[in-house]
Chain A
Amino acid sequence: MNPLLLIMLVPAAATVALFFVDAEAKKAIRAISTVATGLVLLISIGMFVGFGDAPATWTANADGGDTAHSYKYGFEADWIQDMGLAFRLGVDGMGLAMVLLTALIIFAGVMVSYTVEKRVKEYYICLLALVTGVFGVFVSLDLFFYYFFYELAVIPMFLLIGVWGSTTKTVDQNYATMKLVLLLSAGAVMALVGLIAVWADAGTFNMVLLEEWEFSKSFQMTWFPVIFLGFAALVPMWPLHSWSPAGHAAAPAAVSMLHAGVLMKLGAFGILRLACTYFPQAAAEYLPYLALICCMNIVYGGLVAISQRDMKLIIGYSSSSHMGYVLLGIASMTMIGIEGAVFLMFAHGVMTALTFALIGWFYDQTHTRMLDDLGGLMKVMPFAGTLFIIASMASAGLPGFANFASELMVIIGAWESGSAPDAPGWLIIPAVLAVWGLVITGVYLLRAIKDAWFGEMDERWKDLKDQRTFGERAPFILLTAVLLLFGFWPQGMLNVVEQGAKPLVHRIQAGRAQNDKAVKLLVPVDAMPRAEDSLETPKAKTQGEER
């Protein structure tokens, strides 16, 4: 059976199965969820390992040289023939990296959620429904189903945060839940109008065929912002980010993990897969300005994180700060930058999931996350504390972790595009600020470590429980191991990511060359060297392609 179909059917089937399990049989419910997500993880690892040798099912721009883009593990079933809708699945390297990320996090998330005791059955039903939608987005190759799964992932989130989340001094749960769902939906429906416009122009929902369709420049310039902003709300790009830290703070641990680890990546993935792929010319025009907005994400997000006293809000703002690096990598439009962005999406997903899982672990016992109440936790939970320090160091870009490798790539990419001879002078600013962003990260994370894990311990915390059994430790060890694995062996991930990123970068570069050509057309006739020395001369061509 097709592995992509399986990773969607297994959680979907488990969701349905859970409806028929007795609500009191908590052990059975947890077992079903663990087995289902474990199976999905195994399938994903299998696909990841075998990716290089797997045959391509569809190839877009097959004779386009570097822009030839192939999708593997394809599956297709006709849905509505009159409308040209088909249930079409397939992944390229970028999609597969995200699938592996999702599988890792949901498996860890299910295990971490063993501590949930309230309405267990509904909890796992929502969690598995959510993850079915997320997988659907990463593997759909039909615009309709892409949107379908995207929106499907939002509603279980509402219930998960609303029912199992918590109101604290810093965040009101109802407010946070409603804000998150409405902002995400607003982004989604905005993108939907754009996607339908894409369909109306090209006449197909097939995402492979769409890659071969050339949209006119004016069409691209109109609709790129619509689709881009729709997804950017989910990334979350400043100034659309405020739903995200609030949502994290109100959500239960596993939901924060999925939310920061995977859902935010849906937005960046949509930007890469749809906006940049279909509208390369518009991307080349708009993306340099995105690099400036990223600075706000990175620096502003980081500064806000410094001023927080709630652990989850610190990590929440830190997430939106680090998603700024992902956007910066995309905005660099260079090979190393975009590859780094996708790699960082993976690395940040794993790291942030680990952090939220650890915060969830002690919050379940302390019922406070405020730095002022905590302190000295290292004495009672050394295992959790050590891992928290590891995760923080990874986040701050310590060599040896996947985050270091990917953030370095992003910064090099940003520098490369900012220092290109024809780049505007200001384009170097984001690269410089991005480096300082890592210093800011160090400030708030080290302070969080100091205040929460070291120092005087309050008497209240002396009975706290550390992760003792292997079962309790397993999800944490798994995530840490993945961070280290790809930190020391980044090529393992990059080989896969490159397969999807390369054609995209070449597309955007080609779009840029086309733009430059068009600009030359606008030069007044007498400014041109000679009348016959028009666009078609080799000189103009090579100039365009040099970049």
Chain B
Amino acid sequence: MFPLAQVLPLGMTLPEGLTPNLDLLLPEFIVIGTAIGAILPELLLPAGRRAAATAWTSLAGLVIAFVVVVAMGPSAELAVQVKDANGAVISGLRMDSFAVFCRALITGGGALLVLISMAFTRRLDRGHGEFYAILLFSLVGVMLVSGVSDLLSLFVCLELVTIMAYVLAAFRRNDLRSTEAGLKYLVVGAVSTAILLLGIGLMYGWTGTMSLELMGQKVWGAVAAGESMPGLFLLGMALLLSGLFFKVGGVPFHVWIPDVYQGAPSPVTAFLITASKSAGVILLLRIAQAVFIRPLGLDAALHNPLAQQWVLVLGALAVVTLLFGVLAAMAQRGIKRMLAYSSIGHAGYLLMGLAAIVAEGGQDANGAQYGGEALLYYIMAYFVTSVVAFGVIIVVGNASAKVPGGGDSARAYEGLWSRSPLLAVAMCLSLLSLAGVPPMSGFFGKFLILRATVDKGLFVLAFIGAAAVVGSLYFYLLWIKSMYFEAPPEGAPKGDDFRIPMSTKVVLYGGMVAMVLMGVWMPPFYNWAHDAAASLTALAGR
């Protein structure tokens, strides 16, 4: 099949217990190859044609990778599998349906990100190659994250995502805001990385393994034997989750979000809000599956005391995150800052789903299914919706630099319906989808989350989640009001002034269709999420 697996060991002997199975990583290699290829036009082509060449190369690579991911399908084998002396798998990348779903989401969504970035990069006079190469490397990180089965690869893959994102956030290095965003992100991110690493160390200290699967066995072995878990292990767990909360944007690890999302170039914000957040969700799901879900073989009467405590902690954090995000977003006057706070609110919904997975009734594999599929559907819907919103934000921001308040302000959106119906409709639909109004995709995601929480008897959480829908509707509608009720301001760009590139148009039209489709004709999308979540929970059965 894939020659790398045979070529690599030339003259070398593989370490004992290592099975590379590199052909399973074909999509990742394609994206890495594309990333390197994307730098070439920068060296070879005249300045005028670099932007388009790098962008289209990247797009082609991601589309091919998407097709390959879907065509390859899930596999029972692990890529880069490492066994210890006893023959137990201690490290490797899983290629189950869950990983396939996530990699398809990241490659497909990544292609959309590249498409909306074109409106941004064509205005740059240099650095096109770097932008796309770094973006692609970061996407590879998220793709790898979806398969992690041990804490070591978790750390390495997550750092690949994060370090690339530092660079991207500071990409416009002459812009004060962008530099500030990069620096803030770096400082806060570095601290959270240290926390994450300390957590991993402490967890290793008790379990003596990096493998999530073996760790789960150790935890459930202790539960079955009635032993208590040492406090340092629990602390390690808390630190690990803190590190991931940083990625997802959960309170109290959210402080970096508003400034970074506002200051970073818009396509980068789109990347942070979608792909980077997805990485956190994917990892939270993987860890919840390993540690909290009761393996099928065990007695159903066994309760993990860990789960009983954690559902309270996660539930409380979900509520705080939700309310903070929604309330703070109401006061924002800049659209990127509003979306930044609202993304904290969305993190609250994701944590609600996580609490449902962890909840007492959700410990068996079947019970966790609802939460798992809800989270997957939610991030899928959120991905598409956010990309459409940022497609509009990039174009409006480019054209409205001269509007008082800047291209980010409410002024730039006033009366948009008459100045550019396409942009207004796309923004309106994506805001409604973010608010969770039928028939948009966001509605079904929220419905699934509420279903998972109510099913587990977390009624307080469900009611607060429902109330937050109304709160978020308020500030999303304020923006729709600006676009549709107000008269266009004097001298604002209109019609052809926006210069909407073909690439953005493709995303806007396609995205609108996809958003409505995912909210009305959900079966295919739901079944993907369902199967992916099922493969995740099936692992618990081992």
Q: Is B484 an interface residue (CB 8 A)?
A: yes
Interface residues of A in 330-362 (CB under 8 A from B): none
Interface positions, chain A 63-88, Cβ under 8 Å from B, are 79-83
Which of B450, B477, B481, B526 makes the CB contact (< 8 A) with A196?
B450
Chain A residues near B404 (CB-CB < 8 A) = none
| Minimum CB–CB distance for A186 against chain B, Å | 5
Asked if A82 and B526 make an inter-chain contact with CB atoms under 8 angstroms apart, the answer reads yes
Q: Who on chain A is nearest to B432 by CB? A: A155
CB-based nearest B residue for A133 = B438
Residues of A within 8 A of B2 (CB): none
- Least distance between B73 CB and chain A CB atoms (Å): 20
B473 is contacted by which of A177, A182, A196, A200 (Cβ under 8 Å)?
A182
Which residues of chain A have C-beta atoms less than 8 A from B463's C-beta? 190, 193
Nearest opposing residue in chain A for B428, CB measure: A159
Interface residue A163 (Cβ < 8 Å from any Cβ of B): yes
The 6 tightest CB contacts between A and B, nearest first, are A189-B466, A196-B454, A186-B470, A148-B438, A162-B485, A200-B455
Contact of A142 with B by CB under 8 A: no
Task: Please indicate the chain A residues that have their CB under 8 angstroms from the CB of B252 in the complex.
Answer: none
Interface SS, A side: helix
* Cross-chain contact B474 with A182 (CB below 8 angstroms): yes
B377 smallest CB distance to A (angstroms): 11
B451 touches A196 (CB 8 A): yes
Chain B residues proximal to chain A, CB less than 8 Å: 417, 432, 437-439, 443, 447, 450-451, 454-455, 459, 462-463, 466-467, 469-470, 473-474, 477, 480-481, 484-485, 522-523, 526-527, 530
**Cα-based distance from A199 to B450 in the complex (angstroms):** 12
Chain A residues in 8 Å Cβ range of B432: 155
Q: Which residues of A contact B473 (CB under 8 A)?
A: 181-182, 185
| Minimum C-beta distance from A250 to chain B (A) | 12
User: Which residues of chain B come closer than 8 Å to A79, judged between CB atoms?
Assistant: 522-523
Can you list, as one digit per residue, whether each of A148-172 has a CB less than 8 Å from chain B (1) or not (0)?
Answer: 1101101100110011000000000
Residues in A neighbouring B481, C-beta threshold 8 A: 162, 174, 177-178
- Asked if A197 lies at the interface with its beta carbon under 8 angstroms from chain B, I say yes
Given A163-B485, A196-B462: A182 and B450 interface contact (C-beta under 8 Å): no
In the complex the two chains form, is A189's CB within 8 Å of B467's CB?
yes
Select one of B439, B469, B523 contacting A189, CB under 8 A.
B469
Known: A162-B481, A189-B467. A80 touches B447 (CB 8 A): no
Pull 27 A–B residue pairs with CB atoms less than 8 Å apart, ordered by A. A79-B523, A80-B526, A81-B523, A82-B527, A122-B417, A144-B447, A148-B439, A149-B438, A151-B443, A152-B437, A155-B437, A158-B477, A162-B485, A178-B474, A178-B481, A181-B473, A181-B477, A182-B470, A186-B467, A186-B470, A189-B469, A193-B463, A196-B447, A196-B450, A196-B454, A197-B459, A200-B451
Q: Which residue of A lies closest to B485 (CB)?
A: A162
User: In the complex where A80-B526, A82-B530, A182-B473 touch, is A193 in contact with B451 (Cβ < 8 A)?
Assistant: no
Task: Say whether A151 contacts B438, CB under 8 Å.
Answer: yes
Question: In the bound complex, what is the Cα–Cα distance between A147 and B485 (angstroms)?
Answer: 28
Q: Which of A81, A83, A189 is the most central at the interface, judged by chain B CB atoms within 10 Å of its CB?
A: A189
- Shortest beta-carbon distance from B227 to chain A in Å: 34
CB distance from B535 to the nearest CB of A (A): 14
Besides A151-B438, A159-B484, A189-B469, 5 new A-B residue pairs in contact (Cβ under 8 A), listed by A number: A148-B443, A152-B437, A162-B481, A163-B484, A193-B450
B482 CB to closest chain A CB (Å) equals 11
Query: In the bound complex, what is the Cα–Cα distance between A192 and B451 (angstroms)?
Result: 10
Residues of B with C-beta under 8 A to A192: 447, 450, 466
Q: How far is the CA of A287 from the CA of B470 in the complex (A)?
A: 28
CA distance A148 to B440 in the complex (A): 10
| Distance, CA A197 to CA B457, complexed state (A) | 9
Contacts of B477 in A (CB 8 A): 158, 178, 181
Contact A174 B454 (CB under 8 A): no
> Once the chains are docked, how many angstroms separate the CA of A472 from the CA of B481?
33
Write the nearest CB–CB distance from A448 to chain B, whole angstroms.
30
Q: A79-B523, A82-B526, A182-B470 are in contact. Are A197 and B454 (CB under 8 A)?
A: yes
Taking the nearest CB of chain B, how far is it from the CB of A78, in angstroms?
8
* Closest B residue by C-beta to A192: B466
B466, A193: Cβ atoms closer than 8 Å: yes
Q: Which residues of A contact B437 (CB under 8 A)?
A: 151-152, 154-155
Residues in chain B near residue A162, CB distance under 8 A: 481, 484-485
How far in angstroms is the closest Cβ of chain B from A275? 17
Q: Residue of A at shortest CB range from B524?
A: A80
A226 to chain B, nearest CB (A): 9
Chain A residues with CB below 8 A from B447, complex form:
144, 192, 196
A83 and B470 contact, Cβ closer than 8 Å, known pairs A152-B438, A159-B484: no
CB of B312 to closest CB in A, whole Å: 20
Chain A hits for B467, CB < 8 A:
186, 189
Cα separation A181 to B462 with both chains bound (whole Å): 21
A69 to chain B, nearest CB (A): 26
C-alpha spacing A182/B470, complex, angstroms: 6
A182 CB contacts on chain B under 8 angstroms:
470, 473-474
User: Judging by beta carbons under 8 Å apart, are A185 and B470 in contact?
Assistant: yes
Q: Nearest-CB distance from B138 to chain A (Å)?
A: 34
Chain B: minimal CB distance from A375 (Å):
33
Q: A365 vs B439: C-alpha distance in the bound complex, in angstroms?
A: 37
Chain A residue with the shortest CB-CB distance to B523: A80
Residues of chain A from 168 to 214 with CB closer than 8 A to chain B in the complex:
174, 177-178, 181-182, 185-186, 189-190, 192-193, 196-197, 199-200
CA distance A192 to B485 in the complex (A): 30
- Residue picked from A149, A185, A186, most chain B C-beta under 10 Å: A185
Q: Which residues of B contact A148 (CB under 8 A)?
A: 438-439, 443
Which residues does chain A contribute within 8 Å of B526, judged by CB atoms? Answer: 80, 82-83
Q: For the complex, give the distance between the alpha carbons of A491 and B357 in Å.
A: 55
Quote the shortest CB–CB distance from B508 to chain A (angstroms).
15
User: Nearest B residue to A122 by beta-carbon distance?
Assistant: B417
Residues of B within 8 A of A81 (CB): 523
Inter-chain contacts of B451 with A (CB < 8 A): 196, 199-200
Chain B residues with CB under 8 A of A149: 438
Report Cα–Cα, A185/B469, bound state, in Å: 8
Closest to B448 in A: A83
Q: Compute how far the CA of A424 lies from the CA of B447 in the bound complex, rounded to whole angstroms.
A: 42
Q: Which residues of B contact A197 (CB under 8 A)?
A: 454, 459
Residues of A within 8 A of B484 (CB): 159, 162-163
Q: How far is the CB of B512 from chain A (nearest CB, A)?
A: 11
Residues of A close to B470: CB separation below 8 A: 182, 185-186, 189
Tell me the bound Cα distance from A83 to B454 in angstroms: 15
Q: CA of A159 to CA of B438 in the docked complex: distance in angstroms?
A: 15
* Distance in angstroms between the alpha carbons of A149 and B439 in the assembled complex: 8
Q: List residues of chain A with CB within 8 A of the CB of B469.
A: 185, 189
Residue of B432, B455, B470, B522 contacting most chain A CB atoms (<10 Å): B470
Which chain A residue has the least Cβ–Cβ distance from B531? A82
In whole Å, how far is A131's beta carbon from the nearest beta carbon of chain B? 15
Q: What residues on B are CB-neighbors of A177 within 8 Å?
A: 481
Q: Measured between alpha carbons, how far is A163 from B485 in the docked complex, in Å?
A: 5
Enumerate chain B residues within 8 angstroms of A152, measured Cβ to Cβ.
437-439
**Docked-complex contact B454 and A193, CB < 8 angstroms:** yes
Measured between C-beta atoms, what is the minimum distance from B177 to chain A in Å?
32
> Which chain B residues border A83 with CB–CB below 8 Å?
526
CA separation between A199 and B523, bound complex, in Å? 19
Once bound together, how far apart are the Cα atoms of A160 and B526, in whole Å? 33
Measured in the bound complex, the distance between the Cα atoms of B478 and A177 in whole Å is 11
Q: Which residues of the other chain, A, contact B459 by a CB distance below 8 angstroms? A: 193, 197
Please, which residue of chain B has its CB at the minimum distance from the CB of A152? B438
Q: Which partner residue on chain B sits nearest A223 by CB separation? A: B459
* Distance between Cα atoms of A149 and B437 in the complex (Å): 10
Q: When chains A and B are docked, how far (Å) is the Cα of A200 from the Cα of B361?
A: 13
Cβ-defined contact, A200 with B438, below 8 A? no
Query: Which residues of B sit under 8 angstroms from A158, Cβ to Cβ?
Result: 477, 480
Tell me how far the C-beta of B428 lies from the nearest C-beta in chain A, rounded to whole angstroms. Answer: 9
Within 8 Å CB of A144, what residues of B? 447
Q: Which residue of B lies closest to A186 (CB)?
A: B470
Which A residue's beta carbon lies closest to that of B534?
Answer: A82
- Give min CB distance, A330 to chain B, whole Å: 25
